[in-house]
Amino acid sequence: MNTFWQEFPAIAESLEKVSRIIQDSCASQNPVIAEGVSALFDGKGKLLRPGMLLIAANFGKKQDKHLKLAACLEILHMATLIHDDVIDDSPLRRGVPAAHARFGKRDAVLIGDYLLSRCFLLAAEYTSAANAVNLGKLLSRMCAMEIEQNADRFSSGMNLRRYLKKIMGKSAMLFSLACHVGGSEAKASRQITETLRRTGYNIGMAFQIIDDMLDYSGDAGAVGKPLGNDIKEGFVTLPLICAVMRDTSGMLRSFFSQPSFTVDDPDLIIKLVRENGGIEGARSYAEIYTNRALREIARLPSGAARNMLEKLTITLLRRDR
């Protein structure tokens, strides 16, 4: 049983099926792929995007294909994570060695490509052409945003506006698509589908902000990867942006006094971000997006699905990993 969804038994049960579909869809006689797939989809992931898709499907006529589409989105998510890890040189993912550390970069790039191919296979088979196109567009946008993010590494020019644009493209759009596809493929009304799309977007923004916050505030053991990973890689995220704005001593500001910066002592930066209210600052933004999501949810037809979405949104804000 997926522990994240334990208070949502119907979704948790469907996600068991989704996990099996993922395993089946990605099965391969190639031992490297087989090992990679079983390591990546080991049942420890939250399956957040698939779960949201399934909740959204309840606003229309939920069908078997929703399970396939839920699998499709998780596979896409995992493919982008593998490629991220390859290029970030991140050693751990969910507490276990990242794919490229297990298989080498060569095979990790290819396992990612393999997963993309499986994702598009499922999309071609089970969505409308319009939603397959949406999926393609989403991936284009995620790539463009990752490239933009790379250009901003170790650059002092990062600011709130750029940060929000970045997390929209690399994260919130996928949540948004999950809710949109869930609703539209269930033939929910156009108005409901649009509301679901906006709900997903706001949940996704809050989710990514919390993720970035946990990289500064979290317990490394619970988060499953080392703290301060972002800043070590030169990525400036919201807690640091907020801390710089609140910094009265000038220590953090001096860090950004040149067009580009180096990170000699990441622990010092983590400490300064914590001391200068970076955590609280980031959390307040997560609350803003959470509240926006809750306002959208309030527009949806009342019932079990709406209650689930509301509860999920609040749970995600409070998570510590």
Query: Phi and psi (nearest 5°) for 93?
Result: -140, 120
Nearer to a second copy, 221 or 259 (CB): 259
Task: Output the smallest distance, CB 164 to a second copy, in A.
Answer: 17
Dist CA 61 CA 185 (whole Å): 8
* Segment (H or E) for 47: none
Please give the DSSP secondary-structure letter assigned to residue 189.
-
Between 9 and 104, name the residue whose CB sits nearer to a second copy.
104
Q: Which two tokens stand for residue 58?
A: 């309840």
Which of the stretches 99-107, 185-193, 277-285, 308-316 binds a second copy when contact is defined by CB under 8 A?
A: 99-107
* Of 109, 164, 263, 268, the one binding a second copy by CB under 8 A: 109
Nearer to a second copy, 165 or 271 (CB): 165
Q: Identify the residue among 12, 92, 101, 132 touching a second copy (CB under 8 A).
A: 132
What track of x and - describes contact with a second copy for positions 136 through 155 (by CB under 8 A)? xxxxx--xx-xxx-xx----
C-alpha 71 chain-centroid distance: 15
Q: What are phi and psi of 96, to 5 degrees?
A: -115, 160
Stretch that binds a second copy, among 135-143, 174-182, 251-259, 284-292 (CB under 8 A): 135-143
Q: Does 116 bind a second copy (CB under 8 A)?
A: yes
**Binding window for a second copy (CB under 8 A); candidates: 83-91, 213-221, 278-286, 288-296:** 83-91
Contacts 24+ apart (CB under 8 A), 95-104: 95/44, 95/221, 95/224, 95/225, 96/39, 96/42, 96/224, 99/36, 99/39, 99/40, 102/35, 102/36, 102/39, 103/32, 103/35, 103/36
Point out which residues bind a second copy (CB under 8 A): 28-30, 32-33, 80, 83, 86-87, 104-107, 109-114, 116-118, 120-121, 123-125, 129, 132-133, 135-140, 143-144, 146-148, 150-151
